[in-house]
Amino acid sequence: MATRNTIILAAGKGTRMKSKLYKVLHRLCGKSMVDHVLTQVEKTNMDNVVTIVGYGAEAVEEELGDRTKYVVQKEQLGTGHAVLQAEDLLADLDGTTMVVSGDTPLFTAQTFENLFKYHEDKQAKATILTSKAPDPTGYGRIIRNELGIVTKIVEQKDATADEAAINEINTGVYVFDNQALFKALHQITNDNAQGEYYLTDVIEILKDQGDIVAAYQMADFYESMGVNDRVALSKATKIMQARINTAHMKNGVSMVNPDDTYIDVDVQIGSDTIVEPGVQLKGNTVIGEDCFIGANSEIRNSTIHNGVTVTSSMIEDSEMMDGSNIGPDSHLRPQSLIGENVHLGNFVEVKKSEIGAGTKVGHLTYVGNAKLGKNINVGCGVVFVNYDGAHKHETVVGDDSFIGSNSNLVAPLNVADHSFIAAGSTITDDINQYDMAIARARQTNKPGYYKKLPYDAD
């Protein structure tokens, strides 16, 4: 039975990145480069995916997990040598094999599908994915004869002046007849400027054998962009971000300034949501319909339900239910659950807490390790004191309670529903239903005291 296979080349060190991080693990729009490549490959229903690893092999395997098989290239002897490392896993299979680099994060599944179809239609032994480059410097050139048939690929360092002037470039992606590929790999040599075994030499071997070699020219050159340094990473990020933002706008999301809006590739946003400039939506964030995400807000790995307003605030690993709002300048730390129609005003911080529907936390308040019921009023400057220096403790506040401004609730603590805490109190004991707790010194006025002060009392 014919199989469809992919080999991802991810063994190079990437010295031009000047980084301690292995090159293909550098991230853009929420995923590493190699993860972007694998994600698009997975959409084409491969029977086998093999990733060739070398430097940083363990880190790559940790990143991609069991979504792919792995083979280690112990010596970096070129792309042909790298592909040959997959021989034990693939060589005996009938079918086709695509080879793609792990540092080309902008390729789409649709381009891969187009390449496979073209290869099959031409009944080729090899098909090269090519494109016209505005500046072909650094790329291998596609050499065609007078009939337009590909005769060979010439690497930049081995190109003559005439060959270097050609702007049709090799994107580094190929589809091969699988068994023909591995047979030809044993025939290539390293007689070239780099002393490496080039995968491109397989093309010439197949041509010399009289096999059909085709070339599919893709329309969007920038999709083929390889990332070898931080400048290229920045350019690739900008291209991918524009792609992501355009898709959201076509799906009914309004962006005031998409050039200044940063959204990771896996983020989901409902229709009629408005996203202002400077917003960053990261990780596995899901945002519902009819939301307003105000300027300079950052939301990570969180779920924002319908009709929520976020004003210049940060939300991490948390959830906001329908109709709730937060900000400006507030912070949801991980494991916070904000109920329906909850109001969190300016400079409010919530951590590992649940806040029930209709509760209002106006401003300048810290809520940590707490469960607040419904329709509670939390005054200004309230602190849920949750840490004793060694352990965190929980505070529970019942429905319809009132917490006066500048109160401290010292955990562990239970405040029953329909209870009242007077402003300025430090509460250390539980409060029963319908009780009011006052924990402050009684006010004393000293008549005429001002006149004793050492300055003119007039």
Q: Which residues are catalytic?
A: 363
Q: CA-to-CA distance for 147 and 334, rounded, in angstroms?
A: 63
- Which residue type is seen at 362? G
Please state the φ and ψ torsions of residue 254, each to the nearest 5 degrees.
-95, 130
Closest CA to 139 of 166, 113, 120, 108: 166
40 backbone φψ class: left, alpha, beta (φ>0; ψ -120 to 50): alpha
Q: CA-to-CA distance for 367 and 360, rounded, in angstroms?
A: 12
Between the two ends of the chain, the Cα-to-Cα distance in Å is 103
In residues, how long is the chain?
A: 458
DSSP secondary structure letter of residue 32: E
Neighbours of 193 (CB within 10 A): 10
Q: Is the dihedral of CA 254, 257, 259, 264 positive or negative?
A: negative
DSSP code per residue over 399-417: TT-EE-TT-EEESSEEE-T
Max distance between CA atoms of the chain, in angstroms, equals 111
DSSP code per residue over 151-199: EEEE-GGG--HHHHT--EEEEEEEEEEHHHHHHHHTT----STT----T
Question: In sequence order, what are the residues at sequence separation of 6 or more whose Cβ sits closer than 8 angstroms to the Cβ of residue 158?
Answer: 192, 193
Q: CA-to-CA distance for 236 and 239, rounded, in angstroms?
A: 5
Q: Which CB contacts under 8 angstroms, 24+ apart, belong to 386-392?
A: 386/411, 392/352, 392/368
Locate tokens 């080349």: which residue? Answer: 9
Q: Would you say 90 and 50 are in contact if contact means Cβ atoms under 8 Å apart?
A: yes
Q: Is the dihedral of CA 165, 167, 168, 172 positive or negative?
A: positive
Q: Is the dihedral of CA 117, 122, 128, 134 positive or negative?
A: negative
